[in-house]
A and B are shown apart, each in its own frame.
Chain A
Amino acid sequence: DTEVTQTPKHLVMGMTNKKSLKCEQHMGHRAMYWYKQKAKKPPELMFVYSYEKLSINESVPSRFSPECPNSSLLNLHLHALQPEDSALYLCASSQDSGGRQHFGDGTRLSIL
């Protein structure tokens, strides 16, 4: 059982839609992460939140908008996505520096 919960597991949306991905952890971890993983590629870091503040943005297009409402929740708001944004989106959390990141099962996103 994963300790990081992501919803939805699957999402199909059109290029003009607005949707959100949700990630939740109750381990008291201080850092939360969003990754994007294309097929047959490694995960690529998108954003890092530390103590609910955006710490790292890996030059992600503005059509992806992260939000950390509290220490347990991390959202990724999606708007006007492109077909090339279809991928597996993984959320992770960690407690300490250099520590193990706990990953959720991911959301498989398809853009029509």
Chain B
Amino acid sequence: AQKVTQAQTEISVVEKEDVTLDCVYETRDTTYYLFWYKQPPSGELVFLIRRNSFDEQNEISGRYSWNFQKSTSSFNFTITASQVVDSAVYFCALSVRLNRDDKIIFGKGTRLHILP
């Protein structure tokens, strides 16, 4: 099976707290890509990061950081010092090959509320 599980449906934290969004994936492919997208209330999907299966280095971008661990099939996302503008639905996604093209499988999303 190829799927993405985001066990946290909804999270609420107070502004300036750190928060981690969990993502666990399953795939039979040896080469694959993982993504995080943000979807604010306005609806557009905003790309945050792409990681390929051969690169397990953690990444930091400003207040955002990602922890990729193949041993546990996890790709977790941490927001440090959260802000109200971080309130959105966050999707973890897995890119799998289908025919000659790629299909993105999204997790169900985690709705994040940052309270002022």
Contact = CB atoms under 8 A, between A and B. Distances in A.
Contacts of A45: 103-104
Interface string B87-105: 0000100010111111110
Interface stretch (B11-19, B42-50, B73-81): B42-50
Interface in A21-60: 31, 41-45, 48, 50, 55-56
Contacts, number: 64
A66 interface: no
B64 interface: no
Interface string A87-112: 01010101001111111111010000
A94 B35 CA distance: 14
Interface residues of A, number: 26
A101 B106 CA distance: 13
A43 to B, nearest CB: 6
A55 B91 contact: no
A2 interface: yes
Categorize the interface residue count of chain B. Answer: 20 to 34
Contacts of A43: 45, 91, 104, 106
Contacts of A101: 47, 104
Interface string B28-54: 000111010100001111110010100
13 contacts: A41-B108, A42-B91, A43-B91, A50-B100, A50-B101, A55-B101, A92-B45, A97-B102, A98-B52, A98-B97, A102-B47, A103-B45, A103-B46
